[in-house]
């Protein structure tokens, strides 16, 4: 991602309207946590426990804001994305190991996104799952290989907007107890048997590829070249972007929970799969609502797959100390590995949905590695200089990292059958 400013040495103007020009990188990240995996956990949580677990969406979003804001600092202050910084500041063996696991995580993420879109195509048009996966991958590769970064950003912003409007429409069709919903969003409660859902929601929001992607997108704007005064102001603008974008993600995820609570929980219908949700919505709200649900899922799958593909390109290019540039062969290879690798897994895994479970286990193993890498780099004065984390920030991020490790470890144990929550 190069030459995003029209003139070399361009210094941003810090007017009130100028802030809007810096909204965009965070919205790319937002797609990563309103992906099909989040749809499944949110709908299951709302269907089984009503509004009582909405606080989990709030807490996980707050954790995500801290981590994404911190990793964006790395890009702004150093001009390096997380992948480039790992290559530059770690030993070759360690950096290649860490980034190799990150590439596997990108493939695993793309697998989930492509499956979600393929399921939506099967809902809408009866397309077989594997054919739907090929069609989704082809569309995503076309979007990535033929558009510049800024065009991709606009595509994703458009997708996010349509998904948000879809859920506003869905919510208009049901009776929502907004007082209970508001209470559930801020008051923690742990109903009997809900621990697995809580762990799933928390574990699904913070994703490795989003940390790599955010640092790349923000550094691609070359904000570090404006000098200290510009960097400090831009850090504040970046926080606005992150806060706004993660807020949008929180609203959409919460809307999924509320919709499931107001329809499935109210009707006493437990929902464990996305296709089941589509089938149940039809008698409850009508064909139109079910179709809009499936169409929004399709958009979410495609848009989130675009971001996971970009993350794959970012990680692979970083191995060669290069920033993401779709015209460069290393970035193209990274995108292809992420998307094509995911489709091959869908074809060669006998049960694609079981493959989805395995992919989430891989993410659970890799995520702590990425978070610990972030903590190390952003807390290092050698890497960040004057912009290294303050002690309080390091403690806060380390605590979040510890929580993420524990939560994902618990998910891994449950998914492997070693424990039964």
Contacts of 373 (CB under 8 A, 6+ apart): 82, 86, 98
Residue 13's pLDDT is what? 45
- The per-type count for the chain, helices as H runs and strands as E runs, is 18, 0
How far is the C-alpha of 232 from the C-alpha of 15, rounded, in Å?
Answer: 15
Would you call 103 helix, strand, or coil by DSSP? helix
How far is the C-alpha of 392 from the C-alpha of 378, rounded, in Å?
Answer: 13
Q: For the chain, which ranges sit under pLDDT 70? A: 1-25, 148-150, 220-227, 230, 351-358, 360-361, 411-412, 414-421
Residue 225's pLDDT is what? 57
Contacts of 308 (CB under 8 A, 6+ apart): 32, 106, 109, 110, 113, 209, 338
**Which of 3.20.20.220, 1.20.1740.10, 1.10.3720.10, 1.10.260.40 is the CATH number of 17-415?**
1.20.1740.10
Residue 240's pLDDT is what? 83
Of 356, 31, 351, 338, which Cα lies nearest the Cα of 205?
31
- The whole-angstrom distance between residue 334's C-alpha and the CA centroid of its chain comes to 18
Residue 400's pLDDT is what? 87
Of 217, 242, 211, 199, which Cα lies nearest the Cα of 98?
211
The dihedral sign for the CA sequence 180, 182, 188, 191: positive
Tokens 């600092």, residue located:
73
Residue ranges of the domains in the chain? 17-415
Of 412, 330, 419, 387, which Cα lies nearest the Cα of 75?
387
End-to-end CA distance of the chain, in Å? 45
Query: Would you state the structure tokens that stand for residue 365, as one six-digit string?
Result: 């193993």
Residue 127's pLDDT is what? 96
Residue 405's pLDDT is what? 78
How far is the C-alpha of 343 from the C-alpha of 314, rounded, in Å?
Answer: 20
How far is the C-alpha of 320 from the C-alpha of 54, rounded, in Å?
Answer: 42
For 116, 119, 130, the CA distances from 122, given in Å and listed in that order, are: 10, 5, 10
Predicted TM-score (pTM) of the model is 0.86
Residue 46's pLDDT is what? 94
Tokens 């002690």, residue located:
391
Contacts of 132 (CB under 8 A, 6+ apart): 117, 118, 119, 120, 121, 122
On the 0-12 / 13-18 / 19+ scale of CB atoms within 10 A, 409 is middle
Query: Would you state the structure tokens that stand for residue 417, as one six-digit string?
Result: 């059958």
């Amino acid at each position: 991602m190069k030459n995003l400013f029209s003139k070399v040495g361009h210094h941003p103007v810090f007017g009130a309207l100028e802030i809007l020009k810096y909204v965009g990188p965070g919205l790319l990240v937002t797609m990563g946590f309103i992906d099909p995996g989040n749809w499944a956990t949110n709908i299951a949580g709302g269907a089984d426990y009503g509004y009582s677990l909405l606080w989990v969406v709030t807490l996980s979003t707050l954790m995500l804001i801290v981590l994404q804001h911190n990793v964006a600092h790395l890009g702004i202050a150093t001009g390096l994305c997380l992948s480039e910084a790992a290559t530059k500041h770690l030993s070759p063996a360690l950096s290649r190991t860490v980034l190799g696991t990150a590439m596997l995580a990108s493939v695993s993420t793309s697998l989930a996104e492509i499956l979600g879109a393929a399921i939506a195509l099967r809902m809408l048009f009866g397309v077989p799952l594997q054919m739907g996966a090929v069609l989704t991958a082809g569309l995503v590769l076309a979007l990535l290989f033929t558009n510049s970064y800024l065009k991709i950003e606009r595509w994703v912003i458009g997708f996010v907007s349509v998904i948000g409007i879809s859920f506003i429409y869905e919510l208009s069709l049901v009776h929502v107890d907004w007082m209970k919903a508001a209470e559930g969003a801020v008051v923690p409660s742990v109903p009997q048997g809900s621990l697995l859902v809580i762990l799933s929601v928390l574990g699904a929001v913070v994703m490795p590829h989003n940390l790599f992607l955010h640092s790349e997108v923000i550094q691609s704007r070359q904000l570090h070249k404006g000098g200290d005064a510009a960097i400090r102001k831009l850090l504040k603008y970046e926080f606005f972007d992150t806060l706004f974008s993660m807020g949008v993600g929180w609203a959409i995820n919460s809307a999924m929970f509320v919709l499931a609570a107001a329809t499935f929980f109210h009707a006493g219908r437990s929902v464990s799969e996305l296709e089941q949700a589509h089938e149940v919505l039809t008698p409850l709200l009508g064909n139109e609502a079910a179709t809009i649900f499936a169409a929004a899922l399709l958009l979410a799958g495609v848009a989130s797959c675009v971001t996971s593909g970009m993350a794959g390109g970012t990680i692979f290019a970083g191995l060669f100390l290069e920033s993401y540039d779709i015209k460069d062969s290393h970035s193209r290879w990274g995108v292809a590995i992420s998307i094509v690798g995911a489709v091959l897994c869908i074809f060669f895994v006998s049960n694609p949905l079981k493959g989805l479970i395995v992919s989430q286990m891989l993410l659970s193993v890799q995520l702590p590695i990425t978070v610990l890498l972030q903590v190390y780099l952003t807390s290092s004065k050698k890497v960040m200089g004057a912009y290294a984390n303050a002690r309080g920030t390091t403690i806060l991020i380390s605590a979040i990292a510890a929580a993420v490790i524990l939560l994902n470890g618990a998910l891994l144990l449950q998914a492997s059958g070693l424990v039964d929550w």
